[in-house]
Structure 1
Amino acid sequence: MQHEENEIVSKSELLVVTGMSGAGKSLVLQNLEDLGYFCVDNLPPILLPKFVELMEQGNPSLRKVAIAIDLRGQEFFKSLVKEVDLLRSQNRVIVDVMFVEASEAKLISRYKETRRAHPLNDNGQRSLIDAIEEERNSLTEIRSIANYVIDTTVLKPKELRAQIKHLFNRNDIETFSISVTSFGFKHGIQQDADLVFDVRFLPNPFYVEALRPLTGVDDEVYQYVMKWQETAIFYDKLLDLLKFMIPGYKKEGKTQLVIAIGCTGGQHRSVALAKRLAEDLNESYDYNVYVHHRDAHIESGVENEKS
């Protein structure tokens, strides 16, 4: 029995995501990608065996694969069931099927909001209601073989994300990360930042000749920046604010929070504060916390050339 359990664990996992058009398959795929799945959109069912062959070659990135299949014809409806049954009988990989659906009223509402045409609309020759009804009838057999059925009628995006995480984050991997970066305003603001804090009001080590060629990573500069009362007051307020905000960002479904701290050149003050903030956040949370000093090497390199 133990040998069989080990065999199952060692197999790659293939999740086929299908269902009603407009029900949210693309959003499901995005959430699975955040959980570490290798995701493919709109793969014809006939290519599923070829993809399984790739999974069997041992590529670590293909251990967990999610494939969304948008069914646009009767031949797709029939071939998907056939291919899934075949793969399951071969027992080469673990094959699961997720069926995503929503009520007729909700699907109509979504199509009206996006102004997109239904795949079975026949270039406007068929009403939206008829197209939805035909698709639902055609998908009856596929729905019957699904391991997971998710109704998105009343689900908000963050609720759908939570449901996907509950079902497929089996190893309880923490998917939320915090990136703390320092930068210099003279080199341009950090474009991907969610939060930007300007510390140019703090005493500047640049005007201390011995500290000028160093960066905020060096202990001499770090201690200089941290010794001022202005720094202590600002940092306590900043850390308190972030500890209040971070759980809210995570609750809303963000997978990464980028905190940028800027000073004039991005060499001294911002580097010291980013270094300390990353260390404190890493101690306070179980999230992955990364620190990056975007411009420190630029300014220190220029100063070293001058000296």
Structure 2
Amino acid sequence: MQLVIISGRSGSGKSIALQALEDLGYYAIDNLPAMLLGPLVDELRSGQSLRSSIAVSIDARNLPHALERFPTLLEDVRARNIHCQVVYLTTDARILLERYSATRRRHPLTRDSQMTLAEAIDCEEAALAEIRDLADLVIDTSRLSVHDLRGRITDQVAGHRREGLTLTVESFGFKRGVPLDADIVFDARCLPNPYWDPQLRDATGRDDSVIAFLDSYPMVAEMAADILAWVERWLPHYQASQRSYLTVAIGCTGGQHRSVYLAEGLAHRLAAAYPGIRLRHRELGLQRNLPAPDTDEDR
């Protein structure tokens, strides 16, 4: 049996994630009281149901004491030899404020209290802290469209292998903030910047002209080699700690040239050891799974 627990901040896309899993054949339940997690699993394993994949949403609408007991409840479920993933969706608080203002919906924690919307958002994050700490996968939906989020859920959650590490290499721009779901972050802003060459300004780190520019600087190759060596040295230890997901993020100022170049190179060099590695360029809006390195795909 496979169990997916969706949690996270209100307005971050939990309903979309749950619907995506339901469309893939999961038995989906929204706003499940946390205390019923064990009984639900027992009922669906009793032999009376053919459901082998379940997705439930557990969030701040639960009673506070139920959220406090979540770590124990999760441990109990996993002790029953069930493949269980905890997925936490988060969004920048400023963007949540904008979303609620645009939709004019009430935040769940403001319905029976005198809290402001900003206070409710902060209170909810604190209430869900233990669930986030136990999450196998954290997804930052701040800049994801509905289509992008559904794709991430389909790819990373429904397509997750029970054994092994799901590795993502991501490029981003510091001027738009560090990805909230990044586990390891490298800073490439000290490298020569193609942006200052007018002929390269509109190109990206995937274009031959930018690649040639960056290849001409020995320090770029040195940083690429150092990042690769560090990641290869420490990834086995992350795997040994039973991590299911890991995101390595590389940032530059705008997320268009240097970080894209380095992320492309790193992902391709790791592809042999981590089949199906995910390569994502946040600021370019691109994402793909890399094939095995013995294919003819171009860099």
TM-score w.r.t. length of structure 2 = 0.50
SS class of match (1:120): helix
Match of 1:83 among 73, 85, 89: 73
Q: Residue 17 of structure 2: which of 21, 24, 28 is its match?
A: 28
1:117-175 deviations in Å (ceiling 9; x for gaps): 11221545111111111111222211011111111100001111111111134399xxx
Supply the AA of the counterpart residue of 1:77: L
Q: 2:92 aligns to what?
A: 103
Shift of 1:42: 1.0
Letter of the structure 2 residue corresponding to residue 83 of structure 1: L
Check 1:129–1:137 CA distance in 2 against 1; reply closer, same or farther (3 A cut).
same
In structure 2, distance between residues paired with 1:75 and 1:58? 31
SS at match of 2:110: coil
User: What does 1:59-70 align with in structure 2 at a 5 Å threshold?
Assistant: 61-70=50-59
Deviates more, 1:96-105 or 1:60-69: 60-69
Larger radius of gyration: 1
How much has 1:82 moved relative to structure 2?
Answer: 2.4
Percent identical among aligned pairs is 35
Equivalent residue for 1:58, pick from 43, 47, 52? 47
* Structure 1 CA distance for aligned equivalents of residues 126 and 146 of structure 2: 26
CA gap 1:123/1:57 in 2 versus in 1, 3 angstroms: closer
Residue-by-residue CA offset, 1:233-261 (whole Å, 9 max, x unaligned): xxxxxxxxxxxxxxxxxxxxxxxxxxxxx
- What is aligned with 2:296? none
| One of 144, 152, 156 as aligned partner of 2:145 | 156
In 2, distance between residues paired with 1:154 and 1:57? 41
Please provide the CA RMSD for this pair. 2.0
- Report the 3-state secondary structure (helix = DSSP H, G, I; strand = E; otherwise coil) of the residue aligned with 1:17: strand
Give the whole-Å Cα distance in 2 for the aligned partners of 1:126 and 1:171.
Answer: 39
Tell which deviates more after alignment, 23-32 or 67-76.
67-76
Q: CA deviation at 1:53?
A: 0.6
Residue 144 of structure 1, aligned match among 129, 133, 137: 133
- In structure 1, C-alpha distance between the alignment counterparts of 2:80 and 2:33, rounded to whole Å: 21
Deviation at 1:59, TM superposition (A): 5.2
Q: Equivalents in 2 of 1:153, 1:35: separation in Å?
A: 24
In structure 2, runs of 5+ residues without a counterpart are 162-299
Map of 1:18 onto structure 2: 7
Q: Is the 8 A contact 2:71 2:130 kept in 1?
A: yes
AA of the residue aligned to 1:134: C
Q: 2: distance between equivalents of 1:65 and 1:105?
A: 32
1:127 aligns with 2:124: no
**Residue 49 of structure 1 contacts residue 87 of structure 1 at CA under 8 Å; is this kept in 2?**
yes
Is the Cα contact below 8 Å between 1:52 and 1:93 reproduced in 2? no
Mapped partners of 2:158, 2:64: distance in 1? 34
* Cα pair 2:60 2:127 within 8 Å, conserved: no
Q: Which residue of 2 aligns with 1:43?
A: 32
Instruction: Identify if the C-alpha distance between structure 1 residues 86 and 47 changes in structure 2 by more than 3 Å, giving closer, same or farther.
Output: same
Change (3 A) 1:130 1:171: closer
Q: For 2:40, give the aligned amino acid.
A: F
Distance in 1 separating the partners of 2:43 and 2:111: 35
Letter of the 1:106 partner, please give it. Answer: I
CA distance in 1, matches of 2:22, 2:90: 20
Judged with a 3 Å threshold, the aligned counterparts in structure 2 of structure 1 residues 62 and 20 are, in CA distance, closer, same or farther, namely same
- How many residues end up aligned between the 2 structures? 160
Amino acid of the residue matched to residue 48 of structure 1? Answer: L
Which residue matches 2:279? Answer: none
Cα 1:134–1:169, aligned 2, differ >3 Å: closer, same or farther?
Answer: closer
What runs of 5+ residues in structure 1 fail to find an aligned partner?
A: 1-11, 173-307
Alignment correspondent of 1:188: none
How far off its partner does 1:36 sit? 1.4
| Structure 1 partner of 2:105 | 116
Look up the match of 1:251: none
- Indicate if the aligned counterparts of 1:121 and 1:127 stay in contact, CA closer than 8 A: yes
**Shift of residue 74 of structure 1?**
2.0
